[in-house]
Structures are given as structure tokens and as C-alpha cells.
A and B are shown apart, each in its own frame.
Chain A
């Protein structure tokens, strides 16, 4: 039970106890996400927490929601008499990236070109969906900035590597705009 703070009442007798846990909005609105990686091959837009520095992770709240998205896939149509089965594939020439959860670094991934008689060039896709959030490294515990990350995630089977991958498209090829809000407590 708090023994300190400021009580603010309304006429109905309801009150709030103002304490350091109150959220302060540092930044909000929408962001147009960049179409290219940062210089260190990470991705996203930094929102400064200034004038605060070295803010502990547990004092920061971030909301990011994709509001304008694009997706990139191609299709193979394998007619069967009068019907039309389709298969979805990653599209060659599209800039897809994998993302290291450890470092945040994005690495280019190239889709196969669906070459006849070359199964390794047919990278099937089973799903895609937008992702967005606060991107930080596990080892980082205090912050001067908040990195907003967003991308369209495509789940593909990289046939030549025999593995499932989550590959991302960015900016006007992926998540183009996000709504966001960054807030702090204890500040």
C-alpha cells in the first residue's frame, strides 16, 4: 500500500494516487519506416528518450502497430484440367532479409528463381504477416533510445538449405507505416 503520492479526486469521489509509476509519453504518432537498413545492417528507427539517459528497460513501455503493409510473394499455377491449384513461393529479385535475434543484424536472403528441373530454386511460402515492436538486444539493460522495428514476415522453406526461415521485407516492400507510442515511468 502506498503511503505517499498525490490524491486527485473527481466529484464522484473517485480518486487516483499519483506516484512515480505514472506513465509519461515520450513520443507518439506514426512513423514511415525506412526502405533500407541502417549502416550497421540493423533496421528500424530510433526514438530518443531525451532528456533522459540510461533508462532501465523495466521503466520503458513501447506500443507499435503496423498500419500500412505490403507483402511480396509469387505464385505457381499448376492447372489440373479445368481447376487451378496454386503454390506460393518467395519471389526472386525481392529484397528479403533474415534477422539475428542476438544482434539485430539483418542479412540479405535471395529467393530461388523457380528454374525448371532445379528443385533447390523453388522456395515455398506458407504464410506472411506483419510484425512490429521495440527491438533491443538481450544484453542491453539501459537505453538512451528506443529502436522501432517493423517488417512483413514471410515464412518460407529455403529448399537449398533444407530449413524453414522467417524472412522479412521492409519499408515500402513490407511494413510502410506504424503507429507507435513510447512511455516511461519513474521519470
Chain B
């Protein structure tokens, strides 16, 4: 219903205004320099005093626009030859950042990592940087002051180190595990997470005998295969670490050949993907470790396949063997949801938003 009171003003164009208490009065305006430190109560910003006390929220209007902005990020790029592989911005360890409690305006220090090699949690990637300024109500409904908040905002990842998921896996295998072999394997698949490289003892040997070799006659050949599975609830994996052994013998009299291959695969959305392949043929032996890096979502199984093959070619029988072993296999991945690791942090004052243009107005002005 239109107001039944007020002073009517009309211009020559017929525009009319009825002066009522709802008309806007500018209380304060201009440019404010934002402080470089928090207030004593760990909130942040500049208070603009209102001319009266306990002004209701609905009677106040505020404009705040950041006009002088600084930002602090680190930057790393990885190249291969002339090609750019990766390009990531990070929070700076030397800079002061804060998270902000939306309910009470309290700021808490947030430290970004120093990009330390081998420590994922020391790398805090930044998605976005933008200046922001607004009236920080701090959940109040009546006001004596208007708090102007201004800062540079960063959408950043509070990265945690990857977890080793291997311990929670259930393990199984198919094929022939061989006992009593060179490494002391006992023909069983055990816990694979205690960093004992001999704990996941899956060996394959070719030919007769219980060890890793056999006495071959000319023209004979043998193959063996062990496939091991590690099952778990669907996870995202960022890396696989593999410790593996191999030992191939072409025969004391070099009458044959032998070969070993090891393949590690991930089962994702009903499809197997090979992520690591090792093969060796001829008279070689050794042990090695390998990291394979990626970003694999919805992984539910890890499969390791060891294949061995031996064959005797020539007139004299000989002792041949081919032998492979997965000593250890770990799957590492994030253990925290995006909603936990995604954070909004701020830098302030001469490290963030240094100056803000503002206007504070109110209606029902009656000092």
C-alpha cells in the first residue's frame, strides 16, 4: 500500500518522489586502506561507525570494491625438451594466509608447504585467485559499526599425503606358487604392507623340481604363470610401487633360453589397464623397484602377472630356469574427499587487498 505521508517532489518531466524515512542517507564513503594485521579478536577489517546505535540489518546498505590488489603464489613448471608437461601454481610457504570462519569472522592462520621433494602435503596447488570485499556481518543483526572486509582470496588445496591402501586389501592368486626358492619364499602371499620386500612371495619356476629351475632335455620347454590379485573398495590411486625380482638361466652349457615377464594391471570400471611391464630374456638376474605414477579413479583390483618360459634347443640336456617374483606392491592414493581438502584462504593488507572503495548508507536516518 502506498505511503499516506511524506513530502512529494515533482520535476518538470512529471517524475515524483515522496520523501519518506526509507530514503537513503550516505553515512560514509571513500577509500580505506586495509590493515596488514588482524584485529585483537582475530577478526579482520575496518569498522565504519554508524551515527546511531543498534541499526537493523535491513536498514543498512554497503558497497565495497577492492581497488588495489596484491597476490602471492608460487609457480612451477615441468618440461621435457621443448615440451611443457605440467604447469602448476602453489601457495607460498613464506606468505601469510588465513582461513575465515563465515559465522563469526575469525581468521585462522593457514600455512602453505615449501614444495619439499617427496612430501606431497608440502605442495598446495592453487586453482584460482580473486579479490573480494564485502560487509562482514559476523552473524549480527543490529549494528553500531559496519565492518568492511577486503582480502585476496585463493581457492587452494590443503593437500594430505597419500595413504598406502595395500593393507586393507584381500589377496588371492591363481597358478603355481613355488616354494623353497632362492629368496627364501615360502609359497604364500602375505601382508604386503610392512615394507619387507620378501613378504609377497609369489614365485614361478619352469620345468621339473620345486625350486626355480629344472633339468631339461633337448626339445623340451615349459611355462608357468602366476596371477595375483589385490582387491579393495573402489579407490583413487596416484602411484604404484613395485619391488620385483627375476632370474633367468640359459643353461650351464648354454643349450637353451629362458625369459621372465612381470605385468601389473589395474581394474577400473570393468576393464583391465596395464600400467607396468617388465620383461627379461637371456641369462640375467636382479632386483629392482619401480614407481608408476598416474591418477586412476575407481580402482577395485590390482593384478600382478608373472610369466616364465624355458626351452632347451640343443643336443645336450642342461639345467635351465626362469623365475620371477613380486616382492612388494603398494598402491598409494588420496584418503580425503575434495570437500575436506578444498579450502578458501585469504591474504590481507599489503599482501592482499590493500585498498577498498566503499559506501555505507542507511535509511531511517535520525541521529
The number of chain A residues with a CB under 8 A from chain B is 62
Partner of B2, one of A29, A51, A86: A51
Q: Which residues of B contact A88 (CB under 8 A)?
A: 125, 127
Known: A83-B76, A85-B85, A117-B273. A75 touches B125 (CB 8 A): yes
Nearest CB in chain B: distance from A156 CB, A? 11
A25 touches B117 (CB 8 A): no
Size class of the contact patch on chain B: 35 or more
Known: A5-B9, A67-B136, A79-B293. A22 touches B23 (CB 8 A): yes
State whether the Cβ of B215 lies closer than 8 Å to any Cβ in chain A: no
State whether the Cβ of B5 lies closer than 8 Å to any Cβ in chain A: no
Please encode chain A, from 68 to 93, with 1 for each CB lying within 8 Å of some chain B CB and 0 for all others.
Answer: 11111111111111111111100100
B11 touches A73 (CB 8 A): no
B9 touches A6 (CB 8 A): yes
Among listed A36-44, A108-116, A136-144, interface-contacting one: A108-116
A82 touches B273 (CB 8 A): no
Nearest CB in chain A: distance from B11 CB, A? 5
How far is A83 from B294 in the complex, measured between Cα atoms in Å? 13
Known: A4-B9, A71-B342. A28 touches B23 (CB 8 A): no
Nearest neighbor of A20 in chain B, beta-carbon distance: B17
State whether the Cβ of A15 lies closer than 8 Å to any Cβ in chain B: no
Q: Which residues of B contact A19 (CB under 8 A)?
A: 9, 11, 17
How far is A127 from B238 in the complex, measured between Cα atoms in Å? 23
A179 touches B120 (CB 8 A): no
Nearest CB in chain A: distance from B21 CB, A? 10
B16 touches A28 (CB 8 A): no
B-contacting residues of A (Cβ < 8 Å)? 2, 4-6, 18-30, 51, 63, 65-88, 91, 113-117, 125, 127-130, 176-177, 179, 181, 183, 185-187
Q: A27-B58, A85-B87 are in contact. List 14 more A-B contacts (CB 8 A).
A: A2-B11, A6-B7, A25-B22, A26-B22, A28-B61, A30-B137, A65-B62, A75-B338, A78-B293, A79-B293, A80-B78, A84-B120, A88-B127, A115-B297
